[in-house]
């Protein structure tokens, strides 16, 4: 593995990443339209409060998955990381069709690639923050022509610079198709982590993804509080029994006000390390749980 990983406050030794959530949000502003208000997290103090709860529960590192044109704010992330005393890894790259920037269609391939390369080489924003991963996204049950182009361009940059790819699979779909397209341009499956695939609740689908060598992010933990997330715990137990425990990362993707206690929602960013851990240990054990929040995300980030 690489010895260091880029964070918003500078490189951090891989050995110091600690408990790591591979897909979270701390500062998000997808769009000014009212329908995006529930998905807007733009109060830095409330994000600091949540990040501190994560740290108090034993958390150390979060990958903040807001890409270009999604309200990403690296200066805000630097404040949150410093005040909460955690590592925050930011990303470059693009989201699914709905969130692609207007300039994506206006620029040619070389110009789009230059935007990504400039963020990697020179850094993002006033403080020149270096990203630690690249994102791509696809739509529900399809990959649009624009998304095909985004995958090709982002994948090529990720390959050339040796950065991992953490992807958006809308409602968990199109994961195998993403791996195939990225493989065609030379991105190794071992450098890919597919997000949201647990939404399919199809453990055989998750196994097929892991069989390629890619990682999966079970990141909708905390959505079924009444049953203590039993369906996801059962999936995790089956994946471990079947020998796929080394390919699974845990996170919450809690990018809405409804999920932050600081905004009056639940379960909060500490849930996976507190209540959920208590529910899950009976079926997956300490070693299985710890692997999914330490070793596996470290392998994704550091190679």
The span from the CA of 116 to the CA of 149, in Å, is 14
Distance between CA 194 and CA 219 in Å, rounded?
10
**pLDDT reported for residue 232:** 96
Dihedral sign of CA atoms 136, 177, 39, 217 in order: negative
Domain locations in the chain? Answer: 4-302
* pLDDT the model gives residue 31: 87
Report the Cα 197 to chain-centroid distance in Å. 12
Read off the tokens for 149: 């182009």
pLDDT given at position 303: 85
Please give the full DSSP string across the chain, using - where no structure is assigned: --SEEEETTEEEEGGG--EEEEEE-SSB---SSGGGGGG-B--HHHHHHHHHHHHHTTEEEEEE---TTTT--HHHHHHHHHHHT-EEE-EEE---GGG--THHHHS-HHHHHHHHHHHHHH-BTTTTBPPSEEE-EEBTTB--HHHHHHHHHHHHHHHHHT--EEEEEGGGTTHHHHHHHHHHTT--GGGEEEESGGGG--HHHHHHHHHTT-EEEE--TTS-GGGTTHHHHHHHHHHHHTT-GGGEEE-----SGGG-GGGT-SS-TTGGGTHHHHHHHHHHHHHHHHHHHTHHHHHHHH-
At 205-257, the pLDDT tens digits run 999 999 999 999 999 999 999 999 999 999 999 999 999 999 999 999 999 99
* Topology of the domain covering 4-302: TIM Barrel (3.20.20)
Among 258, 293, 301, which Cα is nearest to 273's? 293
pLDDT of res. 157: 98
- Cβ atoms of residues 63 and 23 within 8 Å: yes
Output phi, psi for 12, to 5 deg: -125, 140
For the chain (303 residues), the mean pLDDT of every run of 10, in chain order, is 95 98 96 91 98 98 97 97 98 98 97 98 98 98 98 98 98 98 98 98 98 98 94 97 98 97 97 97 96 98 93
pTM of the model: 0.97
User: Tokens at residue 191, please?
Assistant: 């450098």
């Amino acid at each position: 593995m690489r010895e260091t990983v880029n964070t918003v406050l500078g490189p951090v030794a891989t050995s110091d990443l600690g408990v790591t959530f591979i897909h979270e949000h701390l500062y998000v502003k997808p769009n000014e339209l009212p329908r995006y208000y529930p998905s807007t997290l733009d109060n830095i103090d409330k994000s600091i409060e949540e990040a501190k709860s994560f740290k108090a529960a034993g958390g150390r590192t979060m990958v903040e998955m807001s890409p270009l044109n999604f309200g990403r704010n690296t200066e805000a992330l630097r404040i949150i990381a410093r005040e909460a005393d955690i590592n925050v890894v930011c990303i470059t790259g693009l989201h699914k069709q709905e969130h692609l920037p207007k300039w994506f269609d206006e620029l040619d391939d070389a110009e789009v690639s230059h935007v990504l390369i400039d963020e990697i080489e020179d850094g993002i924003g006033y403080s020149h923050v270096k990203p630690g991963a690249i994102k791509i996204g696809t739509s529900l049950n399809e990959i649009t022509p624009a998304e095909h182009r985004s995958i090709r361009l982002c994948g090529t940059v990720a390959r050339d610079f040796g950065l991992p790819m953490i992807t958006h699979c809308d409602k968990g779909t199109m994961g195998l198709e993403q791996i195939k397209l990225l493989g065609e341009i030379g991105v190794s499956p071992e450098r890919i982590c597919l997000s949201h695939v647990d939404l399919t609740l199809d453990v055989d689908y998750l196994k097929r993804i892991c069989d390629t060598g890619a990682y999966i992010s079970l990141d909708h933990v905390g959505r079924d509080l009444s049953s203590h997330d039993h369906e996801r715990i059962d999936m995790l137990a089956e994946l471990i029994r079947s020998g796929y425990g080394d390919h699974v990362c845990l996170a919450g993707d809690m990018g809405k006000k409804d999920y932050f206690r600081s905004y009056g929602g639940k379960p909060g960013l500490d849930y996976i390390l507190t209540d959920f851990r208590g529910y899950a240990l009976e079926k997956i054990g300490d070693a299985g749980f710890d692997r999914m929040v330490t070793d596996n995300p470290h392998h994704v980030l550091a190679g």
